[in-house]
Amino acid sequence: MTGLIQVLGVVFGVLLISVGILESFFIRDQRLHRLVLVDAEDTDTVRLWTFNLGFYNVIWGIGAIVGALMLGGGAAAAGRTLLLVTCVGHVVLGIILYLSERRLWASAIAEALPPLFITILLLA
């Protein structure tokens, strides 16, 4: 089971890092605008916000990967805790995203469901 959790944790971390890079560096790409509900004329206005938000996701992603990798070593308890905090945090963030903007329901599900599954496996 630990191997599965590690793989899922790394995949989740890579997903968060990828989203963070998109948010930080590619917000002007019009293909992203429908995913983040930003109009093309507003990208300069929200650039600072999306740049910082993107790096939050990068840091969360690094935490998920480090936690997942630590599960297989001598610091398994610390890795489990780090991955659990990262996953529970994103379950909560997904719920908040949905409650704050229901049009982003698909993004909220993508943000909350994978870490919820990992959380269930960690607590089983």
- Number of domains present in the structure of the chain: 1
Provide, rounded to the nearest whole percent, the portion of the chain with pLDDT above 90.
Answer: 72
Q: Which residues of 50-71 are buried (b: 16+ CB within 10 A; e: fewer)?
A: beebbeebbebbebbbbbbbbb
Q: What is the pLDDT of residues 29-84, one digit of tens each?
A: 888 777 777 887 888 888 888 899 999 999 999 999 999 999 988 999 999 999 99
Q: How many other C-beta atoms can be found within 10 angstroms of the C-beta atom of residue 13?
A: 23
d(CA 90, CA 68): 15
Would you say how long the chain is, in residues?
Answer: 124
Q: For the chain, what is the mean pLDDT?
A: 92
Question: What integer pLDDT is reported at residue 41 of this predicted model?
Answer: 84
Residue 101: pLDDT band by 50, 70, 90 thresholds? very high
Range of the domain at 15: 2-123
| Of 111, 2, 116, 102, the residue nearest 61 (C-alpha) | 111
